[in-house]
Amino acid sequence: MPTPQIAIIGAGPCGLTLARLLECKGIKDYIVYERDDGPDSSRAGGSLDIHPETGQHALREAGLFDKFKDHARYADTAFALGDKNGNKIFQMGEGRDAPEIDRAELCKILLDAVPADKIKWGYNLKEVTFGDEGRSQLRFGDGTTLSGVRLVIGTDGAWSKVRRVITEASPQFSGKTYLEGRIRRDSPFYETMAKEFGPGMYLTVGNKKITITQRQGDGSYRIYFGLQTPEHFSRTLDLQNMEATRQLLLSSKYYGDWAARHKDVIRHATDFWAWPLYTLSKEDLSWKSVSGATLCGDAAHVTIPNGEGVNLAMTDALELATSIGQHGIENLDEAVKQYEKGMFPRGVESIAQGEVMSEAMFVEGPEMFLQRFGPVMGLTN
């Protein structure tokens, strides 16, 4: 396999934004290695709100903002807060400049803007090592190896394999698990769901649990049932058994005393999936630059979902591409040092925000959530 100067590991939003931006800057000697077998093989992921100064800025710099706008959903920026008794406390944020787009659509826009031969599908990185004179070696799941890449960029998400050559830090379980369910367009419950929960995102807080209901690009709904759980809770579940999963959620331990409005959603939810939530710590973001490797996006600073993750990942991609552009391919180590100097405080802030948001949400009710998180949302009373 020919050796590129730059290997980007992972074709998520971060890796693809980086690839596109390197193309735009005329830096063409890179390859993206992705473990999935093709663009459609990954679990698609939810709807993401793209913010003006971060995600949108990166898309503008990548020359893709107009394409993004074709898919961006301004009607889905609404945010509603409710309680477990079925009351809606308020709704706000309609039309704000943070339009939603499905992860799959965002990735498609980026993929279409990167030459197809620059993405290698089915390459599951197992290990990076540095041998004599700092020469890198990448080992993939099928036994393929690649030697002499000058810069390995880990955009391989929470469980990054590239991270191991840079820092001993490893994400820790947050004590929370999101169980995801869906109400699809063809569900007999769909019309009721749309009427009850409407556009955008609907957060319900009660008894130290949450539900987050999120309208997707095709009009269907994704629901996250946010629970405080032991680390390996999801391994005890058979999520293929939808009825058993519904019964578990409806039990007195979880949503048994919530209003019919919420329990009806559980009774009709399908396609269950578990997201145990992990986070790096703020202290983890302090490594000394390593020659020949760096991290971007969740690989660098995964945290509890805080509404910024993808925006930050795209900002990292922009900052790293810009730094490589400025320093040139001959000075990659300098480019990495400059990029990491800016990335650390961004990552620390995001991790802090993830902690604050998570503590604010898993409370007795929406009043307490507002006390803790209202000021962050710009709500004074």
Ligand X SMILES: Cc1cc2nc3c(=O)[nH]c(=O)nc-3n(C[C@H](O)[C@H](O)[C@H](O)COP(=O)(O)OP(=O)(O)OC[C@H]3O[C@@H](n4cnc5c(N)ncnc54)[C@H](O)[C@@H]3O)c2cc1C
Q: Interaction with ligand X in 28-57: which residues (CB under 6 A)?
A: 33-36, 42, 45-46, 48
Of the residues 74, 233, 275, 287, which one makes contact with ligand X according to CB under 6 A: 275
Closest separation between CB of residue 252 and ligand X, Å? 25
Residue 201, classed as helix, strand or coil, is strand
**Residue 161 near ligand X by CB under 6 A:** yes
Within 10 A of 44 (CB to CB), how many other CB atoms are there? Answer: 13
Q: How far is the CB of 353 from ligand X (least distance, A)?
A: 11
Nearest to 34 by CA among 156, 166, 165: 156
Least distance between ligand X and beta carbon 85 (Å)? 26
In the bound state with ligand X, the residue whose beta carbon lies nearer, of 86 and 342, is: 342
The answer to whether 278 touches 267, Cβ cutoff 8 Å, is no
Smallest gap from Cβ 87 to ligand X, in A, equals 24
Is 220 or 311 the residue whose CB approaches ligand X more closely? 311
155 touches ligand X (CB under 6 A): yes
Residue 354 near residue 303, CB atoms below 8 Å: yes
Instruction: Please list every residue from 167 through 186 that binds ligand X, using CB under 6 A.
Output: 178
**Collapsed DSSP state (helix, strand, coil) of residue 92:** strand
Our finding on whether 9 is near ligand X (CB under 6 A) is yes
Nearer to ligand X, 97 or 367 (CB): 97
Contacts of 63 (CB under 8 A, 6+ apart): 24, 113
Regarding 234 and contact with ligand X (CB under 6 A), the answer is no
Q: Which is nearer to ligand X, 153 or 324 (CB)?
A: 153
CB of 381 to ligand X, least distance (A): 27
Rounded to a whole number of angstroms, the minimum distance from the CB of residue 280 to ligand X is 12
Among 7, 11, 223, 266, binds ligand X (CB under 6 A): 11
Please give the full DSSP string across 331-372, using - where no structure is assigned. Answer: GHHHHHHHHHHHHHHHHHHHHHHHHHHHHHHSSSSHHHHHHH
Strands (E), the chain: 6-9, 30-34, 47-49, 79-83, 88-92, 100-102, 119-121, 125-130, 136-140, 145-147, 151-154, 172-183, 201-206, 209-215, 221-228, 270-279, 293-295
Is the alpha carbon torsion for 18, 19, 21, 25 positive or negative?
positive
User: Is 339 one of the binding residues for ligand X (CB under 6 A)?
Assistant: no
Q: x-or-dash pattern for ligand X, window 105-144, by CB under 6 A?
A: ------------------xxx-------------------
Minimum CB–partner distance for residue 83 and ligand X (Å): 22
> Interacting stretch for ligand X, rule CB under 6 A, among 8-16, 79-87, 339-347, 354-362?
8-16
- Burial per residue of 100-127, b for 16 or more beta-carbon CB atoms within 10 angstroms, e otherwise: bbbbbbbbbbbbebbeeebbbeebbbee
In whole angstroms, how close is the CB of 371 to ligand X at the nearest point? 23
- Helices 242-250, 260-268: axis angle to 10 degrees equals 160
Task: With H, G, I as helix, E, B as strand and everything else as coil, classify residue 323.
Answer: helix
Number of residues that bind ligand X (CB under 6 A): 33
Q: Does 157 bind ligand X (CB under 6 A)?
A: yes
> What is the Rg, in whole angstroms, of the alpha carbon atoms belonging to the chain?
21
DSSP-derived letter for residue 146 is E
13 binding ligand X? (CB under 6 A): yes
Interface residues with ligand X (CB under 6 A) are: 9-15, 33-36, 42, 45-46, 48, 123-125, 155-157, 161, 178, 275, 297-298, 305, 307-311, 313
